[in-house]
Amino acid sequence: MAYDLENMLVVGVASSALFDLTDADAIFREHGEARYREYQETHIANALKPGVAFPFIKRLLSLNDLSQDGVPLVEVIVLSSNDPETGLRVMRSIAHHGLPISRAVFMQGRSPFKFMGALNMSLFLSQNEKDVRIALSMGFAAGQVLGLPAADPKGTDLRIAFDFDGVLADDSSERVMQAEGLPAFHAHETEHLEVPLPEGRLSEFLRGINRIQDIEEKLVDAQPDYNRRVHVAIVTARNAPSHERVVRTLKSWGVRVNDAFFLGGVEKAKVLRVLKPHLFFDDQLGHLQTAADEIPSVHVPFGVVNEVKGA
Protein backbone atom coordinates (compact mmCIF):
# COMPACT_ATOMS: atom_id res chain seq x y z
CA MET A 1 0.00 0.00 0.00
CA ALA A 2 1.30 3.47 -0.93
CA TYR A 3 2.33 5.86 1.82
CA ASP A 4 -0.36 8.56 1.70
CA LEU A 5 0.71 12.16 2.40
CA GLU A 6 -2.68 13.66 1.58
CA ASN A 7 -3.90 14.27 5.13
CA MET A 8 -0.54 15.07 6.69
CA LEU A 9 1.19 18.37 7.36
CA VAL A 10 4.22 18.00 5.06
CA VAL A 11 7.23 20.30 5.34
CA GLY A 12 10.24 20.31 3.05
CA VAL A 13 13.57 21.35 4.54
CA ALA A 14 16.96 21.95 2.97
CA SER A 15 20.04 20.67 4.76
CA SER A 16 21.16 24.30 5.02
CA ALA A 17 18.14 25.08 7.21
CA LEU A 18 18.22 21.91 9.27
CA PHE A 19 21.97 21.92 10.00
CA ASP A 20 24.85 24.36 10.38
CA LEU A 21 26.74 23.98 7.08
CA THR A 22 28.98 27.01 7.54
CA ASP A 23 32.26 25.08 7.13
CA ALA A 24 31.08 22.97 4.19
CA ASP A 25 29.59 25.99 2.43
CA ALA A 26 32.88 27.88 2.78
CA ILE A 27 34.71 24.98 1.13
CA PHE A 28 32.22 24.99 -1.75
CA ARG A 29 32.50 28.74 -2.29
CA GLU A 30 36.29 28.88 -2.09
CA HIS A 31 37.29 25.62 -3.77
CA GLY A 32 34.34 24.40 -5.82
CA GLU A 33 32.15 21.31 -5.97
CA ALA A 34 34.90 18.69 -6.19
CA ARG A 35 36.56 19.81 -2.94
CA TYR A 36 33.15 20.16 -1.32
CA ARG A 37 32.32 16.55 -2.17
CA GLU A 38 35.68 15.43 -0.84
CA TYR A 39 35.16 17.39 2.38
CA GLN A 40 31.72 15.86 2.98
CA GLU A 41 33.06 12.34 2.35
CA THR A 42 36.00 12.88 4.69
CA HIS A 43 33.68 14.16 7.44
CA ILE A 44 30.82 11.73 6.83
CA ALA A 45 31.10 10.30 10.35
CA ASN A 46 31.05 13.77 11.94
CA ALA A 47 27.45 14.70 12.73
CA LEU A 48 26.42 18.18 11.64
CA LYS A 49 25.39 20.64 14.33
CA PRO A 50 21.78 21.88 14.52
CA GLY A 51 20.87 24.78 12.25
CA VAL A 52 18.24 27.52 12.51
CA ALA A 53 15.26 25.32 11.69
CA PHE A 54 16.38 22.30 13.75
CA PRO A 55 14.44 23.05 16.99
CA PHE A 56 11.32 23.92 14.99
CA ILE A 57 11.50 20.69 12.97
CA LYS A 58 12.22 18.60 16.07
CA ARG A 59 9.21 20.04 17.94
CA LEU A 60 6.99 19.73 14.87
CA LEU A 61 7.83 16.06 14.44
CA SER A 62 7.30 15.41 18.14
CA LEU A 63 3.62 16.23 17.63
CA ASN A 64 3.18 12.88 15.93
CA ASP A 65 2.62 11.36 19.36
CA LEU A 66 -0.78 13.11 19.30
CA SER A 67 -1.96 10.83 16.50
CA GLN A 68 -5.13 8.96 17.42
CA ASP A 69 -4.65 6.07 14.98
CA GLY A 70 -0.88 5.70 14.69
CA VAL A 71 -0.77 7.50 11.33
CA PRO A 72 1.73 10.39 11.49
CA LEU A 73 0.30 13.91 11.59
CA VAL A 74 3.54 15.48 10.34
CA GLU A 75 6.02 14.43 7.66
CA VAL A 76 9.32 16.23 7.03
CA ILE A 77 11.18 15.57 3.78
CA VAL A 78 14.69 16.76 2.91
CA LEU A 79 14.83 18.67 -0.40
CA SER A 80 18.36 19.15 -1.67
CA SER A 81 20.25 20.16 -4.81
CA ASN A 82 23.11 17.93 -3.63
CA ASP A 83 23.65 14.54 -5.24
CA PRO A 84 22.71 11.43 -3.22
CA GLU A 85 26.32 10.61 -2.35
CA THR A 86 27.00 14.04 -0.87
CA GLY A 87 23.68 13.84 0.94
CA LEU A 88 24.80 10.81 2.95
CA ARG A 89 26.32 13.02 5.66
CA VAL A 90 23.01 14.85 6.02
CA MET A 91 21.04 11.62 6.41
CA ARG A 92 23.56 10.24 8.90
CA SER A 93 23.34 13.47 10.89
CA ILE A 94 19.55 13.16 10.94
CA ALA A 95 19.90 9.66 12.38
CA HIS A 96 22.54 10.83 14.88
CA HIS A 97 20.18 13.48 16.26
CA GLY A 98 17.30 11.03 16.45
CA LEU A 99 15.02 12.90 14.05
CA PRO A 100 12.32 10.68 12.52
CA ILE A 101 13.06 11.80 8.95
CA SER A 102 13.49 9.02 6.41
CA ARG A 103 12.45 10.63 3.12
CA ALA A 104 14.60 12.86 0.93
CA VAL A 105 14.92 14.18 -2.61
CA PHE A 106 18.48 14.75 -3.86
CA MET A 107 18.96 16.30 -7.31
CA GLN A 108 22.52 17.24 -8.21
CA GLY A 109 22.76 20.89 -9.18
CA ARG A 110 19.02 21.18 -9.82
CA SER A 111 16.15 22.58 -7.81
CA PRO A 112 13.73 19.88 -6.61
CA PHE A 113 10.93 22.32 -5.81
CA LYS A 114 8.70 21.25 -8.70
CA PHE A 115 8.02 18.11 -6.66
CA MET A 116 6.53 20.04 -3.72
CA GLY A 117 3.01 19.71 -5.07
CA ALA A 118 3.41 15.99 -5.72
CA LEU A 119 4.58 15.56 -2.12
CA ASN A 120 1.75 17.69 -0.66
CA MET A 121 4.18 20.16 0.92
CA SER A 122 2.76 23.32 2.47
CA LEU A 123 6.17 24.81 3.34
CA PHE A 124 9.82 24.70 2.26
CA LEU A 125 12.64 26.09 4.44
CA SER A 126 16.15 26.84 3.23
CA GLN A 127 19.06 29.14 3.96
CA ASN A 128 19.50 29.78 0.24
CA GLU A 129 17.62 32.90 -0.85
CA LYS A 130 17.78 31.99 -4.55
CA ASP A 131 16.20 28.59 -3.94
CA VAL A 132 13.46 30.18 -1.84
CA ARG A 133 12.65 32.75 -4.52
CA ILE A 134 12.48 30.02 -7.17
CA ALA A 135 10.03 28.02 -5.05
CA LEU A 136 7.88 31.12 -4.46
CA SER A 137 7.89 31.96 -8.17
CA MET A 138 6.50 28.47 -8.82
CA GLY A 139 3.57 29.21 -6.53
CA PHE A 140 4.79 27.32 -3.46
CA ALA A 141 5.25 28.44 0.15
CA ALA A 142 8.90 28.96 1.03
CA GLY A 143 11.12 30.97 3.33
CA GLN A 144 14.78 31.72 4.00
CA VAL A 145 15.88 30.94 7.56
CA LEU A 146 17.87 33.59 9.43
CA GLY A 147 19.39 34.00 12.87
CA LEU A 148 20.21 31.33 15.43
CA PRO A 149 18.38 28.18 16.58
CA ALA A 150 15.93 28.55 19.47
CA ALA A 151 17.72 27.84 22.75
CA ASP A 152 15.27 25.73 24.75
CA PRO A 153 16.16 22.11 23.89
CA LYS A 154 14.34 20.52 26.83
CA GLY A 155 10.89 22.01 26.27
CA THR A 156 7.96 20.32 24.54
CA ASP A 157 5.84 23.18 23.23
CA LEU A 158 6.01 24.63 19.71
CA ARG A 159 5.68 28.39 19.26
CA ILE A 160 5.10 29.82 15.77
CA ALA A 161 4.64 33.48 14.90
CA PHE A 162 3.53 35.02 11.60
CA ASP A 163 3.34 38.46 10.12
CA PHE A 164 0.06 38.82 8.24
CA ASP A 165 0.29 40.74 4.96
CA GLY A 166 2.49 39.01 2.38
CA VAL A 167 2.77 35.91 4.57
CA LEU A 168 -0.62 34.51 5.60
CA ALA A 169 -2.53 36.89 3.31
CA ASP A 170 -1.51 38.14 -0.10
CA ASP A 171 0.09 41.57 -0.53
CA SER A 172 -2.90 43.48 -1.98
CA SER A 173 -3.29 45.67 1.10
CA GLU A 174 0.48 46.11 1.39
CA ARG A 175 0.46 47.49 -2.15
CA VAL A 176 -1.95 50.22 -1.04
CA MET A 177 0.34 51.00 1.88
CA GLN A 178 3.45 51.23 -0.29
CA ALA A 179 1.76 53.31 -3.00
CA GLU A 180 -0.39 55.69 -0.96
CA GLY A 181 0.81 55.69 2.64
CA LEU A 182 -0.60 54.81 6.05
CA PRO A 183 -3.75 57.03 6.13
CA ALA A 184 -4.85 55.65 2.75
CA PHE A 185 -4.10 52.12 3.93
CA HIS A 186 -6.32 52.46 7.01
CA ALA A 187 -9.08 54.03 4.92
CA HIS A 188 -8.85 51.19 2.40
CA GLU A 189 -8.99 48.51 5.10
CA THR A 190 -11.96 50.15 6.83
CA GLU A 191 -13.82 50.40 3.52
CA HIS A 192 -13.12 46.72 2.78
CA LEU A 193 -13.72 45.47 6.32
CA GLU A 194 -16.21 42.81 5.22
CA VAL A 195 -14.11 41.65 2.25
CA PRO A 196 -11.74 38.79 3.14
CA LEU A 197 -8.22 39.15 1.81
CA PRO A 198 -7.00 36.48 -0.62
CA GLU A 199 -4.94 33.74 0.97
CA GLY A 200 -1.17 34.08 0.88
CA ARG A 201 1.55 31.48 0.56
CA LEU A 202 1.56 30.26 4.18
CA SER A 203 -2.19 30.02 4.82
CA GLU A 204 -2.23 26.31 3.98
CA PHE A 205 0.61 25.70 6.44
CA LEU A 206 -1.42 27.42 9.17
CA ARG A 207 -4.40 25.29 8.21
CA GLY A 208 -2.27 22.19 8.75
CA ILE A 209 -1.11 23.46 12.15
CA ASN A 210 -4.76 24.09 13.08
CA ARG A 211 -5.62 20.45 12.33
CA ILE A 212 -3.10 19.40 14.99
CA GLN A 213 -4.50 22.01 17.36
CA ASP A 214 -7.96 20.52 16.85
CA ILE A 215 -6.65 17.29 18.37
CA GLU A 216 -5.28 19.21 21.33
CA GLU A 217 -8.62 20.93 21.88
CA LYS A 218 -10.28 17.53 22.18
CA LEU A 219 -7.64 16.55 24.72
CA VAL A 220 -8.36 19.72 26.71
CA ASP A 221 -12.07 18.82 26.76
CA ALA A 222 -11.26 15.32 28.00
CA GLN A 223 -8.41 16.32 30.33
CA PRO A 224 -8.88 19.84 31.76
CA ASP A 225 -5.30 19.87 33.08
CA TYR A 226 -3.82 19.12 29.63
CA ASN A 227 -1.28 21.77 28.59
CA ARG A 228 -1.50 22.79 24.94
CA ARG A 229 1.80 22.29 23.16
CA VAL A 230 1.16 24.29 19.98
CA HIS A 231 0.88 28.07 20.17
CA VAL A 232 0.36 30.31 17.13
CA ALA A 233 0.60 34.10 17.11
CA ILE A 234 0.29 36.93 14.62
CA VAL A 235 2.76 39.77 15.12
CA THR A 236 1.88 42.55 12.70
CA ALA A 237 2.49 46.26 12.16
CA ARG A 238 -1.27 46.70 11.68
CA ASN A 239 -3.24 48.39 14.44
CA ALA A 240 -6.78 49.76 14.79
CA PRO A 241 -8.77 50.23 12.63
CA SER A 242 -7.02 47.89 10.14
CA HIS A 243 -6.75 45.09 12.72
CA GLU A 244 -10.38 44.08 12.29
CA ARG A 245 -9.92 42.95 8.69
CA VAL A 246 -7.24 40.51 9.89
CA VAL A 247 -9.59 38.86 12.37
CA ARG A 248 -12.47 38.69 9.93
CA THR A 249 -10.25 37.37 7.13
CA LEU A 250 -8.86 34.52 9.23
CA LYS A 251 -12.38 33.54 10.30
CA SER A 252 -13.56 33.51 6.69
CA TRP A 253 -10.72 31.15 5.76
CA GLY A 254 -11.66 28.81 8.58
CA VAL A 255 -8.31 29.21 10.37
CA ARG A 256 -7.35 30.68 13.72
CA VAL A 257 -4.45 31.86 15.87
CA ASN A 258 -4.08 31.84 19.64
CA ASP A 259 -2.66 35.34 20.04
CA ALA A 260 -2.39 38.54 18.03
CA PHE A 261 -0.12 41.53 18.49
CA PHE A 262 -1.31 44.61 16.56
CA LEU A 263 1.74 46.81 17.09
CA GLY A 264 1.15 49.83 14.86
CA GLY A 265 4.83 50.57 14.29
CA VAL A 266 6.18 49.38 17.64
CA GLU A 267 9.37 47.40 17.03
CA LYS A 268 8.43 43.75 16.59
CA ALA A 269 11.73 42.54 18.05
CA LYS A 270 10.71 43.74 21.52
CA VAL A 271 7.65 41.51 21.51
CA LEU A 272 9.41 38.59 19.83
CA ARG A 273 12.13 38.48 22.48
CA VAL A 274 9.42 37.85 25.06
CA LEU A 275 7.30 35.55 22.88
CA LYS A 276 10.36 33.45 21.89
CA PRO A 277 8.92 31.70 18.82
CA HIS A 278 10.75 28.74 17.34
CA LEU A 279 10.24 30.48 14.00
CA PHE A 280 8.87 33.90 13.08
CA PHE A 281 7.75 34.41 9.46
CA ASP A 282 7.80 37.90 7.92
CA ASP A 283 7.97 39.27 4.37
CA GLN A 284 10.03 42.31 5.36
CA LEU A 285 13.69 41.65 6.01
CA GLY A 286 14.07 44.79 8.11
CA HIS A 287 11.63 43.42 10.68
CA LEU A 288 13.77 40.31 11.07
CA GLN A 289 17.26 41.77 11.18
CA THR A 290 16.64 43.65 14.42
CA ALA A 291 15.97 40.39 16.26
CA ALA A 292 18.17 37.98 14.30
CA ASP A 293 20.65 37.75 17.17
CA GLU A 294 18.00 36.05 19.34
CA ILE A 295 14.97 35.04 17.30
CA PRO A 296 15.09 32.27 14.67
CA SER A 297 13.29 33.84 11.74
CA VAL A 298 12.10 33.13 8.22
CA HIS A 299 12.12 35.73 5.46
CA VAL A 300 9.33 35.13 2.95
CA PRO A 301 10.53 37.23 -0.04
CA PHE A 302 7.07 37.59 -1.54
CA GLY A 303 5.08 40.56 -2.76
CA VAL A 304 5.61 44.24 -3.45
CA VAL A 305 8.16 44.85 -0.69
CA ASN A 306 10.41 42.19 -2.22
CA GLU A 307 10.12 43.07 -5.87
CA VAL A 308 13.47 43.80 -7.49
CA LYS A 309 13.56 47.40 -8.68
CA GLY A 310 14.11 47.74 -12.37
CA ALA A 311 13.18 44.11 -13.01
163 classed as catalytic: yes
Which of 239, 233, 238, 241 shows the shortest CA–CA distance to 206?
Answer: 233
Alpha carbon distance 78, 94 (integer Å): 10
Judged by phi (left if over 0) then psi (alpha if -120 to 50, else beta), residue 121 lies in: beta
Judged by phi (left if over 0) then psi (alpha if -120 to 50, else beta), residue 78 lies in: beta
Contact 162, 237 (CB under 8 A): no
Q: Give CA angle at 260 (257, 261), nearest 5°.
A: 160
Alpha carbon distance 88, 143 (integer Å): 24
Catalytic residue among 20, 83, 152, 163: 163
What angle, rounded to 10 degrees, do the helices at 182-191 and 172-180 form? 140
Alpha carbon distance 19, 96 (integer Å): 12
Contact 154, 179 (CB under 8 A): no
Which residues are within 8 A (CB) of 120 and not within 5 positions of it... i.e. 6 or more apart?
Answer: 5, 6, 8, 10
Start-to-end CA distance of the chain, whole Å, equals: 48
Largest CA distance in the chain: 62
Q: Which residues are catalytic?
A: 163
